[in-house]
Amino acid sequence: MTKRRISILVTVVVALAAAAFWMFRSGDGKSKLQFETAKLEKGKIIAKVTASGTLSAIVTVQVGSQVSGRIAALHADFNSPVKKGQLIAKIDPALFQATVDQARANLVAAQGNLAKAKVQAVDAGRQYARQKELAARKLNAQADLDTAQANADATAAGVLAAEGTVAQAKASLQSADVNLAYTNIVSPTSGTVISRNVDVGQTVAASLQAPVIFVIAEDLEKMQVDTSVAEADVGRLKPGMAASFTVDAYPGEIFRGKVRQIRNAAQTVQNVVTYDAVIDVANPELKLKPGMTANVTFIYAEKEDVLKAPNSALRFRPPPQLLAELKGVPGVSGPAPGAAAAPSAGPGLGGARPPGVGGGGGGGGGGRSGARGGEQPDRRTLWVLTGEKPAPKRVKTGISDGTFTEIVEGDVTAGDVVVTDALGAGSPNLQNLRRGL
């Protein structure tokens, strides 16, 4: 065999292989559909809302300083239990004590000036009385009487001024005493220190804002969880509803609490609106600590022994090939055979799905996710497989746990086989599989 013949033979084999591969990839559009199915069954459905939150003490007090100065001593540390009125820190009182001594000295001086003014007022009063008596006997001039009266009035006014100075000195002394007392930082409540922000020798400045020295949690045996609940779920929550949560520190343990309130203040982060649902939690063993992240579950509905269908079956939409085969069957509508497919979504994407076509493949999501415009949210279609062809059944749905949805009414029973997906030569799903998607 010559090299030319060998080359021609290889070319023919490669061409046949390419043609076979192309036919396998494209299909003839008439291959039989293959269905992925699941059985309807009875069981329990728990409808719940999940959210994340942060643990904190119900009452947390920030203890600051009213005056500026150097921290001379600390009498509490992290995790220290404290009582109301207990001394927990001391600011160096030297400057404040000096201010008190100066204010006290000013008060003594003011009191001395007041005593002097009173003596002068008494003397001026006697002089005025003597001049008045002499004037009655016509023994002095009117000018002398007027001068004595003016001196008496002036000394009386001096007494009032001295009394005012004494009052000012007393107020200054009281202010200095208060500032001196503020150098003793005491606990405003009984609880546990969860944060200490200063060290001995550090200077705190209280000129513009009181510096926070300690953070005290009033009672760590009673805590709360502040959760961020999405606006789509907040309507399902009510005060008094039971809630459970886990924390990363104890992954195998479930903690329970009750919803105390759902706050009306919305929080918007990146156009996502959430609301704070506050949960009261008992913490007798002090396992839970402030700042822990809680993964919270709210159970708003629970039903036993109900007929349930996979959400993937409720989301299933038949491909055009199946609709064409079932054309004329009551309750089935779809494009006529040979209807044009939707335009491609772009290179490598396997084409866009025609309207009404669904892959329905597994996953959570409520039973409403496949509802078409104009349909009631609780009215859905199940495709029940009887023999080789599925038939549509209209059903009314109830609660959902994200994987299964309750079937409230409809011509279906437990054990019925429902379609969750369809694969075939003309199916977009199979085309995607062939492209490696």
Which DSSP string corresponds to 154-174? HHHHHHHHHHHHHHHHHHHHH
Residue type, 341: A
131 token code pair: 């001049």
Q: What percent of the chain has pLDDT over 90?
A: 63
**pLDDT tens column, 274-294:** 999 999 999 999 999 999 999
Q: Is the pTM of this model over 0.85?
A: no
Q: Which of 41, 13, 32, 31 is CA-nearest to residue 313?
A: 41
| 3-state helix, strand and coil shares in percent for the chain, rounded to the nearest 5 | 30, 35, 35
The pLDDT of residue 366 is 41
The pLDDT of residue 433 is 38
Q: Is beta strand 242-247 parallel, antiparallel or unpaired with respect to 250-269?
A: antiparallel
The pLDDT of residue 318 is 86
Would you tell me how many other CB atoms lie within 10 Å of the CB of residue 16?
10
The pLDDT of residue 357 is 32
The pLDDT of residue 332 is 62
Residue ranges per structural domain of the chain: 27-45+307-434, 49-58+217-303, 71-92+183-215, 93-179
Residue type, 66: Q
Which DSSP string corresponds to 395-433? EEEEEE-SSEEEEEEES--TT-EEEEEEE-TT-HHHHHH
| Topology classification of domain 71-92+183-215 | OB fold (Dihydrolipoamide Acetyltransferase, E2P) (2.40.50)
Answer for the pair 195, 102: CB distance below 8 angstroms, yes or no.
no
The pLDDT of residue 7 is 73
Q: Give the span between the Cα atoms of 418 and 386, in whole angstroms.
A: 9
Phi, psi of 420 (to 5 degrees): -110, -20
* Secondary structure tally for the chain: helices H, strands E: 6, 19
* Per-residue CA distances from 227 to 52, 201, 298 (Å): 6, 40, 11
**pLDDT tens column, 126-147:** 998 988 888 888 888 888 888 9
The pLDDT of residue 336 is 38
The pLDDT of residue 1 is 54
Beta-ladder partners of 87: 186
Which DSSP string corresponds to 284-307? TT----TT-EEEEEEEEEEEEEEE
Q: Is beta strand 242-247 parallel, antiparallel or unpaired with respect to 60-64?
A: unpaired
Low-confidence ranges of the chain (pLDDT < 50): 27-30, 334-373, 425-426, 428-437
Q: Which of 248, 300, 298 is CA-nearest to residue 54?
A: 248
Which DSSP string corresponds to 21-65? HHHHHH--S-SPPEEEEEE-EEEEEEEEEEEEEEEEESSEEEEE-
| Topology classification of domain 49-58+217-303 | Elongation Factor Tu (Ef-tu); domain 3 (2.40.30)
The pLDDT of residue 359 is 36
Q: What is the CA radius of gyration of the chain?
A: 45
